[in-house]
């Protein structure tokens, strides 16, 4: 994480008396924060090269140089002590946390600075775990949304930096349920229901963290009684005949102008089919499959891999169609076998493993979005409209298992769900047409029964009505 540095500086803007406030700059991970001291001097009396061992920040030309230097040194040593305390705990921290400890004696007392520190801690705890970095990024998305809300509701111009905007956010001591309800109304005007639920759930978790730190009252918890409705999208499924059409239908070639694609779009069809054939694999897992994940044991060909979402190991037995699909992806362009560390599908860069964790996360997200977009465009060119998505392949395979009567416990294992409730949620999202067909089936059965009994279709009235 690097070390934390201190420097004594002057505030660039002068006060009404022409004096400049003395500040201690706290820098960690290239992020500076300033702790203002209750001292102001003329710049001509300030020594920017001053050192703590010489205690010479204020020149001797100033009438109170010794007293001022002593006060600065005392503050400097106090800052060093706070930093040493954070280092000794071994927990990740930010320059903002150091500044807030010095000014208030504890963590940030406003929502957005607290959220910034929370994100920094999550990223530090994640290390090289890309799934945990993904979770941290969802809190960064919440930060972006809350900043957008503040700028709009407070009419803060774009020229005001985010760090200054954060200081205008709600103080925990004055945060009320009304603030949350007003935010919810704004979110509902700008985002889909599922996004609103996600943002509010993360905000609630953040406020519980603040309550644990003693910043928010459990008794008067601001989100108590705020309903968070979780709505799931109705996901369509592809029938077997539609999967066959996706696999075999000719694609009209279009002239592509401009620069070549980072990844050739022709890989979208094999990728989508591989996701279906490999038991509804997730797109993020599919683009990270390596040659080493493809295992041949006698006459069996398997794809063995660990899921990125919940770290479950899966072993998928491939049928002839799957073996044929993967065959060209196990070879280089010249026909020679790929190395075991090579990726099967050409979406990630060859130097992916050498990138720092956060760069790998960003690159993975970029490549995943590219693959998803290519699969959707493939569906449009085949006449499916925008129905074809990467996640649709997963739901289609899950639906096929359900139709074939595969027990739900087996489906949970095959799909790699940590909780069987997720598998049940998949079942709850089947097409409305299936629900409607029950009514049609019931009507037809009653009609046939009535015809068999009377030779005609009659609806008998209840004699007591």
Which among 226, 214, 220, 215 has a CA at the least distance from the CA of 185?
226
Neighbours of 396 (CB within 10 A): 23
Residues of the chain with CATH 1.10.150: 107-231
- For residue 1, pLDDT over 80 is answered with no
Write out the H or E segment, with its range, that includes residue 376.
helix 357-381
Q: How confident is the model at residue 231, as a pLDDT?
A: 62
pLDDT of residue 400: 85
Cut 0.75: pTM above it:
no
Q: Give pLDDT tens digits for 363-404.
A: 999 999 999 999 999 999 888 877 788 888 888 888 888 888
Nearest to 408 by CA among 431, 434, 426: 426
Is the alpha carbon torsion for 134, 139, 140, 141 positive or negative? positive
Contact 398, 412 (CB under 8 A): no
β-bridge mates for residue 10, sequence order: 22
pLDDT tens-digit series, residues 84-114: 988 887 777 888 888 888 886 666 778 999 9
Residues of the chain with CATH 1.10.443.10: 240-251+263-428
- CB count in 10 Å sphere of residue 176: 11
Supply the pLDDT for residue 460: 41
Average pLDDT score over the chain: 85
Q: pLDDT band at 465, cuts 50/70/90?
A: very low
In CATH, what number does 107-231 get? 1.10.150
pLDDT digits (tens, 9 = 90+) for 181-220: 999 999 999 998 889 999 999 999 999 988 887 788 888 8
In this predicted structure, what is the pLDDT of residue 281? 92
pLDDT in tens, 239-287: 888 888 888 888 766 555 454 567 888 999 999 999 999 998 999 999 9
- CATH 1.10.443.10 assigned to domain 240-251+263-428? The reply is yes
């Amino acid at each position: 994480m690097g070390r934390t540095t201190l420097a004594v500086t002057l505030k660039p803007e002068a006060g009404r008396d022409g004096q400049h406030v003395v500040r201690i700059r706290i820098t960690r991970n290239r992020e500076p924060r300033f702790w203002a001291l209750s001292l102001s001097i003329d710049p001509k009396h300030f020594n920017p090269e001053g050192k703590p061992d010489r205690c010479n920040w204020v020149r001797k030309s100033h009438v109170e140089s010794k007293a001022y230097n002593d006060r600065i040194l005392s503050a400097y040593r106090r800052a060093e002590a706070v930093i040493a305390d954070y280092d000794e705990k071994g927990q990740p921290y930010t320059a903002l946390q150091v500044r807030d400890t010095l000014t208030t004696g504890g963590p940030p007392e406003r929502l957005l600075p607290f959220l910034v520190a929370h994100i920094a801690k999550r990223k530090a705890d994640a290390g090289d775990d890309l799934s945990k970095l993904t979770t941290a990024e969802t809190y960064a998305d919440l930060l972006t949304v809350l900043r957008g809300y503040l700028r709009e509701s407070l009419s803060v111009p774009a020229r005001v930096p985010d760090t200054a905007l954060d200081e205008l956010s709600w103080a925990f001591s004055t945060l009320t349920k009304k603030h949350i309800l007003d935010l919810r109304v704004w979110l509902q005007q700008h985002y889909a229901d599922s996004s609103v639920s996600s943002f509010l759930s993360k905000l609630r978790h953040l406020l519980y963290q603040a309550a644990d730190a003693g910043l928010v009252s459990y008794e008067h918890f601001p989100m108590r009684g705020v309903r968070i409705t979780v709505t799931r999208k109705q996901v369509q499924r592809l029938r077997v005949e539609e999967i066959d059409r996706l696999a075999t239908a000719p694609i009209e070639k279009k002239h592509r102008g401009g620069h070549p694609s980072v990844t050739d779009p022709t890989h979208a069809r094999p990728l989508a089919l591989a996701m279906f054939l490999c038991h509804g694999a997730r797109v993020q897992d599919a683009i990270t499959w390596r040659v080493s994940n493809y295992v041949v044991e006698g006459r069996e060909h398997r794809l063995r891999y660990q899921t990125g979402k919940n770290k479950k190991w899966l072993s998928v037995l491939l049928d002839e169609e799957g073996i044929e699909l993967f065959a060209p992806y196990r070879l280089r362009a010249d026909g020679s076998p790929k190395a075991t560390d090579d990726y099967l599908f050409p979406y990630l860069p060859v130097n992916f493993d050498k990138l720092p964790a956060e760069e790998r996360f960003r690159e993975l997200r970029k490549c995943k979005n590219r693959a998803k977009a290519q699969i959707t465009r493939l569906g449009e060119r085949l006449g499916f409209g925008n129905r074809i998505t990467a996640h649709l392949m997963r739901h289609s395979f899950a639906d096929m298992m359900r139709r074939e009567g595969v027990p739900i416990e087996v489906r949970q294992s095959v799909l790699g769900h940590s909780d069987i409730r997720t598998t049940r949620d998949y079942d709850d999202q089947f097409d409305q047409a299936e629900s409607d067909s029950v009514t049609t089936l019931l009507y037809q059965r009653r009609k046939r029964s009535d015809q068999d009994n009377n030779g005609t279709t009659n609806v008998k009235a209840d004699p007591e009505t």
